[in-house]
Structure 1
Amino acid sequence: MMEQRDNRPVLITGGCGFIGCNLADRLAVRGERVLVLDNLARAGVRENAQWLKSRHGDLITITVADIREPIPVIDAVRDARAVLHLAAQVAVTDSVSDPAADFEINARGTLNVLEAVRLHNNTAPVMFASTNKVYGRLIEDSEIALAGRRYTPTGALLVDGISENAPLDFYSPYGCSKGTADQYVHDYARVFGLRTVVMRMSCIYGPRQFGTEDQGWVAHFLLSAIRGKPLTIYGDGYQVRDALHVSDAVAAWLAALDRIGLACGRVFNLGGGPANAVSLRELIDQISELTGREISYCFADWRPGDQPWYVTDTRALSTALGWTPQIPLAEGLHSLHAWLSGRFGTEHDSREALA
């Protein structure tokens, strides 16, 4: 006998944000109902909300609420078949300027979500958007060397990237708040038996990303090129990240959700891996070639918690769920450039849409 489909909605907190709206879109394309809980406070999220509703109509329900308020969180969780928790304060700089607000959103807000699930819907899977910032600076200056236009580790142990076995070392208030939430989510699986999954993500980019200097740096670099505006590079530009296209990130999230029996209780690092690693200077070169425009930039001091090198080891996720990145960086940049050019290429005042 065919198992009856669970028609309850998937709850996505922060579902009008960049990754959240891409997840909501993919779920709705599959014919699933989605309940989005978002306070609509960040730039671009109202536009993403309109985009979701225009594409999917009644499959998408948007509730305007804040995860710092327990009652609307409980109401949203109560009837959900799964909870994808992405609502967050996402900028290191904002965490430094207001650590208390950063804590209330990222740590306390996540605890509100966990408690709502534990007390009112304890069979619902909970997936959490964590960050590579929980590992802190990770690598000392003596452990990296300059090779061409990027840093590389001097030891052979990191050839495949940073694995989930790397020690946690929270750095910056943002790292502390997200690290606290990360550990709560993981511990609620061990202590209370919730079916939780932690995704420690690195540099997700792609369409629907309104990049800023503080968050979404790939989109920010591309958008600056389109607008002909100079960039500020914090550090020396040789720092390396691995970039993952949002469609690949969504595929990883849904693979874990669809096979929650294999994924629950696990922590996964999620990124583009060594094949999609790039330094800031290298990315500027690629963007200049893609757009046909020279990009002017200047340098400023390193920011708190900045990692000189971070590349994700994706083998745990691949082994558990059969997931691997499908979109190489060059192809992904083309897709993001096409979206940004269509969205911002004409100078009808784009600032209004972001307000």
Structure 2
Amino acid sequence: MVGGGGGGPLRRVGKYEVGRTIGEGTFAKVKFAQNTETGESVAMKVLDRSSILKNKMAEQIKREISIMKLVRHPNVVRLHEVLASRKKIFIILEFITGGELFDKIIRHGRLSEADARRYFQQLIDGVDFCHKKGVYHRDLKPENLLLDSQGNLKISDFGLSAWPAQGSFLLRTTCGTPNYVAPEVLSHKGYNGALADTWSCGVILYVLLAGYLPFDEVDLTTLYGKDDNEDAFEDETGPLTLNAFDLIILSQGLNLAALFDRRQDCDKLQNRFLSRNPAKVILSSMEVVAQSMGFKTHIRNYKMRVEGLNADKTSHLSVMVEVFEVAPSIFMVELQRAAGDTSEYNTIHPKGQIYIGQ
């Protein structure tokens, strides 16, 4: 519903007056909104129905909504209601103003024992409530823990959450963030969702008290203590596949040699490189390295945003990374610098530490 007034048109969705965009992902935008009946501020997650259907995410969205309706707890971001139009779905969420716990750690380093204890107790209270409802988060990490205006912790992002299928005790989908995921999740033998979440909570407690990760290898083989396995990061959909015309457009002067001649110097590849590693392994490896360098990462659907202050804490660096499949088992990685110093960008350029190799 669109409303107007002396100050110009105002967009309305039901009883909510919609304002600025406060977050944006691959399939959704998050907007600030206000309940015109109560004056309460909310976060409105706006999803496009056609994109959801095209990317076969309908069941995932339904599951996330059902789970958030179920887990009403002071330490879990509250779902107020869900609205829909012919083209859009609107998920109305509690508006959290204090940012991510991750940001607090980045700014201040390790926390005091008293602060760490408080956050950990709130985390365990929220996670325990979820588990009693049969819900397992599966992606617990400081980036998914928000702080309200009073400094209280709120668990968010239930996009990877699940409950065991009826009659089945073990979960089998491999998912999560490498540094926080429990070893048994990678075993392909099934795992207990509650125990896997508990492992992640333990890693979070370590980060709160130490200011760095307990498991922080730049190489996934070392990190996991096992060989890379293409099935270890199984997902329903793969990276975008490039056809011949896409490759021609990407190449300079219609010359594809720059993409495929591995004998050339990496400098000539500019912002792209090739790898035979699985797409998920590529992104996870780059995420581990970026985080070890103090940068913050966000991964969604084979795209990753890397951002944070440079080593001197004098400027902000922002880099977009996307993985494309150019042939079976051959992937192209493209990096684009959105903001920041060129020299700092070169530290995570393919010729630098994040280069994955053949």
Whether TM exceeds 0.5 here: the answer is no
The structure whose residues are more often strand, as a share, is: 2
Instruction: Indicate the structure (1 or 2) with the bigger Cα radius of gyration.
Output: 2
TM-score (norm 2): 0.24
The structure whose residues are more often helix, as a share, is: 1
TM-score (norm 1): 0.24
Greater relative contact order (Cα < 8 A, sep 6+): 1
